[in-house]
Chain A
Amino acid sequence: MLRLPAFEFRPVRSVEDAAALLSEYGSDALPVAGGTDLYANMKLGLFTPRVVVGLRSIAELRRMHFDPAHGLRLGALCSLDSIARDPAVLLHYPALATAAAMVGTPEIRSMGTIGGNLCLETRCTYYNQSADWRKALGYCLKRDGDLCRVALHSPTCKAINASDTAPVMQAYDARISLVGPHGARVVAARDFFSNDGAHATVRQSDEILAEIALPPPPRGARSSYRKLRLRNAFDFPLLGVAVAVATNEAGACTQARVLLGAVGSAPIEVEGAGALLLGSHFAAATLADAAEEVFRAGKPLENANASLLYRKRMLRVLAQRALEDVAAPLR
């Protein structure tokens, strides 16, 4: 069995304490919640923090609250499993419930948190490997090397944001609260993910992701998340498509967001697809055109467990299906 490298574990009971510790130790410290991502990466030698700040005992970050006027507030420590089962989430934010339910395995969903899933380290077939494997490769841009193995001339890392919930959060226009040693700030989901494989998010090293706020569901809200994977559990997405729309009394689309997960280093909003849907009545031709937009917008690379040609081709199929999901009940 691979062993974890040695580290000092420092559990905390408040966000302030966590931020203070992270600030004190700087790049020597990392926060951990469920540990399903961090510890696996530490075993591979991808992170070697001297101090790991344990967030699990911060009771206030476990809250989940919905009211129709203000929407959904999710403490960052809510488990993926609890979100996938929550009646309000299932009713008002079904794509989030779907995405959370599709993460990993029951064990991972039980330990893994929503905050952790949003902060998921970017992934790449050249990166998520043991220290010995990466040494044999000669390392890569994301860790210890100076060459991106996926795109040899790329100045930036092309690792994939493989979070299932990230594109969904962006489709719902979520707001993310970060708390650091000097106070809190709120960032829109679309600004939270940095499109750089080296740094998954804009979270500073001494900040804690504390809470996610989702706006109340608009009138006639519909949403869907579709995931491409090679087996029905224990798989990161090869591709994810999240769609959230709203409709007026006449059934016309008043709001539409189409997001792609696991294609780039951040979720990608396909604005062209959303624009096509706006004002439409979700006719088959409109959906096909929107799917075509998705197909054009997504540019997968050769860095997942299926070829880029397959993932490219599946963009249209998955988009078409996600769009059908939201359109079908309206027809």
Chain B
Amino acid sequence: MGNNGARSTEGRVVGAALPRIDGYAKVTGAALFADDMAFPRMLFGRLLRSPHAHARILSIDYEKALRLPGVVAIATGRDLPVRYGILPSTQDETVFAIEKVRYVGEPVAGIVAEDERTAQRAAALIEVRYEALPSVMSIDDALRDLTENGEKIHPESRKSNNVHKDVHLTFGDIEAGFADADRVFDDEYFFEGNTHAALEEHSAVAICGADGKLTLWSSTQTPHYLHRVAAAVLEMPASRIRIIAPPIGGGFGGKTEPVAHELAAAYFARATGRPVKFTLTREEIFYTHRGRHPVRIHLQTGVKNDGTITACRLQTWLDGGAFGSYGVATTYYTGALLPVTYKMGAYAFDGCRVYTNKPPCGPKRGHGTTQPRYAFESQLDDIANALGLDAGAYRAAIAVVPYSRTINHLRVTSCGIREALSAVAERTDYGAKHGKLAPGRGIGLAASAYLCGAGLPIYWNPMPHSGAVVKVDRGGGVTVFCGTSDCGQGSQNMLAAIVAETLGVDILDVSVCAGDTDLTPVDLGSYSSRVTFMAGNAARSAALEVRERIAAAAAAELGIAPERCAFASGRIFDRDEPDRALAFVDAARAAEARCGTLVGVGSYTPPADLHGDFKGSGVGPSPAYSYSACVAEVEVDFETGEVRVDRIVLAHDCGRALNPSIVEGQIEGSAYMGMGEALMEESAFRDDLHRIPNLLDYKTPTMLDTPSIEAIVIETEELEGPYGAKEAGEGPLNPVIPAIANAVADAIGARIFATPIVPERVLQALDGTTGPLRLRAPVAARTA
């Protein structure tokens, strides 16, 4: 597989496990990330951050800092007063705090200096006087009645107390559904917050040209949204701002919205006329955050004795941190996708997101669907056990069917959930093992669904979600221009593959120009697993437009009808007589001679009928859904409570795999990330401070903790996807966490209702206590 010589003779790109076009640059270090960039006379930026979780800013005095030799400029909130936020409904942030600070680590001022050390020293010289306010550090705190005393984190909010958003949706007759149930399962869960831990630290470099035009390179997954917000915050025309997304060293949702350091870089470049770079430290990334929300979950499910779900009521409370971020969408997402996996007679969802004095939470891989999925799949396992059903077969029996509508009116097209479930169950012999392994050993199963792109854009508009231009050079080279941002998932390769396949050329003959607001048509960005589906469709349309013109010219040269032209291996040939052929480059020249400059354009807009007609129906619809299933096998040490994952088998319905090795990579990465969330990762706070804002103390699994991961690619034909493709970037993560939770439950014979499943929680479950750990020796009978 992936043999360079074989590819051009086969003429097939889609479906082949070719090496990534950007692979060599990434593994050799040749790829230039934002922080690799440098310009003559470049200044280095530093943000002064709040030491208080909640305080009023009384004064800021930076005269002393400004006098430090090497310091060039300093700015505070009053210099950049425009409020912004990724969602039009939640414009609650400013680049630097104004009047109040709302979490430890919130930017209060920015400094640019000749070098990093000077900028850092200057930050320490800025004197800020604060008046401390009571801090709100938990969901319970945030829901406490403030009418007597206390100040809201956002006093201008119209919601009571510190509520940011509440949502109430009901589908079907929920009371009748519960009345119809033979049994009702009623459980509470807590999913701990965690962070993305992308390897690349966020970096932004800005220059302002002599013509007044501003260029900003930033490790952003959403250059288009950054473009809009930069224009608003800097109060200058978007036409004078150019955003470029260089290669990004991992995002996972952590780089999907404009944040302070990017806007500060742009501001200071304009203010000083010199290039400016801001690169965050790892600790600053823990404060910038936008990571997984901690969510408290109350889940009630009514079932018939055969397991049929008659009613499901889900309540979620999201700890949003200090700002809105994508939180309104996150709140809806905690409810929107549960019915996409299984049929249910009625469904009620209540979601509530609160503000707290912590770094803002936002989207992380699986955006808002991961937490309730953990709860639901945990409870389904308990239901299956209680009813004496095989957990895999049970899920298959209640799974949604292809080409149907869910109880919350979402349109389901292709659906490989049954194939995924049987693939993981068969590979692991799940049925023979579950409930039958030796004490301390366990096996668990779970399934899930995910979006292939949000059906609606973040700001309402009737324009396409993605656009692409394909240009053919007289030398036979092809360039595809598209506004996508490659955060490591392989979107560059995806665009090249689709264009190469459509035009029958070698993938290395296709260049990709992406993520540049001056040069590329808009793509909304790398979030909600939308890029392959939407940008892929746009690129395919653009390539087809070019192909049509080349076919017409080639047909004239070959003396055949254009419909008979086939494109493969760098040739255009007669489908019926393959020896009658023209080199691609010659056909392209003929086409340019006939019709002028050879450019094709394409765009993609999702269908309009994806969702129901109710308030809140905008979050959840997608042109297609991916499906996943996972089995995990674990070993639990009854004395220490340590959980060792021995094996993860993860099957994912990605539609058609455009490149199976990239799909497998995404599945493996999802298994790894899910395992970390299940067992060790947590955004932990002590008093007002993030307790572990570094990668030594914030635990992610090492190679030595990672088991054998078996990725199974399930292919379905998605009629609306580019070459049948759906998504693979986020979906496979979701079943991993409940699969591990279910395996632990199988191993210890008790359910742990919270993540991460750290050793202490395992011991509490074994002790049958949820209170403080008892100090007695472990129960002898349970010792393996």
Binding site for B on A (CB under 8 A): 1-3, 5-6, 105, 125, 128-133, 135-137, 228, 230-235, 305-307, 309-310, 312-314, 316-317
Interchain CB contact under 8 A, B704 and A1: no
Specify the chain A residue showing the minimal Cβ separation from B637: A317
Q: Could you pull out 21 A-B pairs where Cβ atoms are within 8 angstroms?
A: A1-B279, A1-B282, A2-B281, A2-B282, A3-B116, A125-B691, A125-B692, A130-B283, A133-B283, A133-B693, A136-B50, A136-B104, A230-B699, A231-B701, A233-B705, A234-B702, A306-B758, A310-B773, A312-B775, A313-B773, A317-B639
6 more contacts with CB within 8 A, not counting A1-B279, A305-B697, A310-B641, are A133-B283, A133-B689, A136-B50, A137-B689, A231-B680, A309-B760
Interchain CB contact under 8 A, B640 and A314: yes
Interchain CB contact under 8 A, A136 and B763: no
Interchain CB contact under 8 A, B704 and A233: yes
In chain B, positions 657-706 with a C-beta closer than 8 Å to chain A are 680, 686, 688-689, 691-694, 696-697, 699, 701-705
Interchain CB contact under 8 A, A1 and B777: no
B464 within 8 A of A: no
Contacts of A3 in B (CB 8 A): 116-117, 120
Specify the chain A residue showing the minimal Cβ separation from B49: A132
**Nearest Cβ on chain B to A98's Cβ, whole angstroms:** 15
Interchain CB contact under 8 A, A233 and B697: no
B52 within 8 A of A: yes
**Nearest Cβ on chain B to A42's Cβ, whole angstroms:** 13
B377 within 8 A of A: no
Find A231's partner among B116, B689, B694, B702 (CB 8 Å cutoff).
B702
A282–B707 Cα distance when bound, in Å, is 36
4 tightest A-B contacts by CB?
Answer: A136-B51, A232-B704, A309-B773, A233-B702
Interchain CB contact under 8 A, B773 and A135: no
Contacts of A305 in B (CB 8 A): 692, 697, 699
**Nearest Cβ on chain A to B291's Cβ, whole angstroms:** 18
Contacts of B775 in A (CB 8 A): 309, 312-313
Contacts of B116 in A (CB 8 A): 3
A309–B774 Cα distance when bound, in Å, is 8
Contacts of B702 in A (CB 8 A): 105, 231-234
Find B704's partner among A129, A228, A230, A231 (CB 8 Å cutoff).
A231
Specify the chain B residue showing the minimal Cβ separation from A126: B686
A231–B680 Cα distance when bound, in Å, is 9
Contacts of B696 in A (CB 8 A): 234
A234–B760 Cα distance when bound, in Å, is 20
In chain B, positions 96-117 with a C-beta closer than 8 Å to chain A are 104, 116-117
Interchain CB contact under 8 A, A136 and B52: yes
**Nearest Cβ on chain B to A229's Cβ, whole angstroms:** 10
Interchain CB contact under 8 A, A231 and B699: yes
Contacts of B691 in A (CB 8 A): 125
**Nearest Cβ on chain A to B771's Cβ, whole angstroms:** 10
Interchain CB contact under 8 A, A309 and B283: no
Interchain CB contact under 8 A, A232 and B777: no
Specify the chain A residue showing the minimal Cβ separation from B283: A130
Interchain CB contact under 8 A, A1 and B640: no
Interchain CB contact under 8 A, A233 and B703: yes
A287–B279 Cα distance when bound, in Å, is 54
A-B contact count (CB 8 A): 86
A307–B760 Cα distance when bound, in Å, is 8
Interface of B is mostly: loop
**Nearest Cβ on chain B to A32's Cβ, whole angstroms:** 19
**Nearest Cβ on chain B to A143's Cβ, whole angstroms:** 15
B759 within 8 A of A: yes
B69 within 8 A of A: no
Interchain CB contact under 8 A, B705 and A232: yes
The verdict on A230 contacting B104 (CB below 8 Å), with A135-B51, A136-B52 known, is no
A128–B696 Cα distance when bound, in Å, is 10
A6–B117 Cα distance when bound, in Å, is 8
A150–B705 Cα distance when bound, in Å, is 31
In chain B, positions 733-780 with a C-beta closer than 8 Å to chain A are 758-760, 763, 772-775, 777-778
Contacts of A137 in B (CB 8 A): 689
B262 within 8 A of A: no
Interchain CB contact under 8 A, A1 and B201: yes
Contacts of A312 in B (CB 8 A): 775
Specify the chain B residue showing the minimal Cβ separation from A2: B281
**Nearest Cβ on chain A to B53's Cβ, whole angstroms:** 9
A3–B283 Cα distance when bound, in Å, is 13
A305–B758 Cα distance when bound, in Å, is 11
Interchain CB contact under 8 A, B705 and A231: yes
**Nearest Cβ on chain B to A48's Cβ, whole angstroms:** 12
A317–B760 Cα distance when bound, in Å, is 14
0 or 1 for each of B43-66: is its CB under 8 Å from A? (1 = yes)? 000000111100000000000000
Interchain CB contact under 8 A, A1 and B281: yes
Contacts of B279 in A (CB 8 A): 1
0 or 1 for each of B464-479: is its CB under 8 Å from A? (1 = yes)? 0000000000000000
**Nearest Cβ on chain B to A305's Cβ, whole angstroms:** 6
A3–B280 Cα distance when bound, in Å, is 11
**Nearest Cβ on chain B to A13's Cβ, whole angstroms:** 30
0 or 1 for each of B689-728: is its CB under 8 Å from A? (1 = yes)? 1011110110101111100000000000000000000000
A307–B771 Cα distance when bound, in Å, is 13
A105–B760 Cα distance when bound, in Å, is 25
A128–B698 Cα distance when bound, in Å, is 13
Specify the chain A residue showing the minimal Cβ separation from B686: A125
**Nearest Cβ on chain B to A270's Cβ, whole angstroms:** 17
Contacts of A313 in B (CB 8 A): 763, 773-775
Contacts of A136 in B (CB 8 A): 50-52, 104, 688-689
Contacts of B124 in A (CB 8 A): 131
Interchain CB contact under 8 A, B699 and A5: no
A99–B594 Cα distance when bound, in Å, is 76
Contacts of B201 in A (CB 8 A): 1
A6–B70 Cα distance when bound, in Å, is 16
Interchain CB contact under 8 A, B760 and A306: yes
A234–B695 Cα distance when bound, in Å, is 10
A305–B691 Cα distance when bound, in Å, is 9
Specify the chain B residue showing the minimal Cβ separation from A310: B760
**Nearest Cβ on chain A to B493's Cβ, whole angstroms:** 29
A129–B686 Cα distance when bound, in Å, is 13
A275–B775 Cα distance when bound, in Å, is 24
